[in-house]
Amino acid sequence: MTRLTGTALRLTVFIGENDVWHHKPLYSEIVHRAHAAGLAGASVFRGVEGFGASSRIHTSRLLSLSEDLPVAVVVVDTEERIRAFLPQLDELVQDGLVTLDACEVVRYVGRGGEPG
């Protein structure tokens, strides 16, 4: 089990919910690869509206024709482990934005009170 406290790196991958990797959602592939790589954790957040490099606005509003809503996959771990994971993203992410931010882990505890 990964233990994580103090200085860390937050990886955020901004993609569309309709992006796929071998007929499966790209966000799911990223999460499963992060898990297989032993990273501390990953979460997927679905946006209600946004735009990216294409400047096309994607929205969940009822009258909009767009269904390709923005998705953010967030992974937090040590800088070394996150940077080691980046080559996998180079393979997976064709369109989107990948960012890295320094962060500090204050608490990382799993269900049942077990430290992560």
Domains of the chain with CATH codes: 6-105 (3.30.70.120)
| pLDDT tens for the 116 residues of the chain, in order | 567 888 999 999 999 999 999 999 999 999 999 999 999 999 999 988 777 777 677 776 655 555 788 999 999 999 999 999 999 999 999 999 999 999 999 988 887 766 55
Q: pTM for the complete prediction?
A: 0.85
Q: Which long-range contacts (CB under 8 A, 24 or more apart) does 82-89 make?
A: 82/9, 82/11, 82/39, 83/9, 84/37, 85/11, 85/33, 85/34, 85/37, 85/39, 86/11, 88/33, 88/37, 89/11, 89/13, 89/30
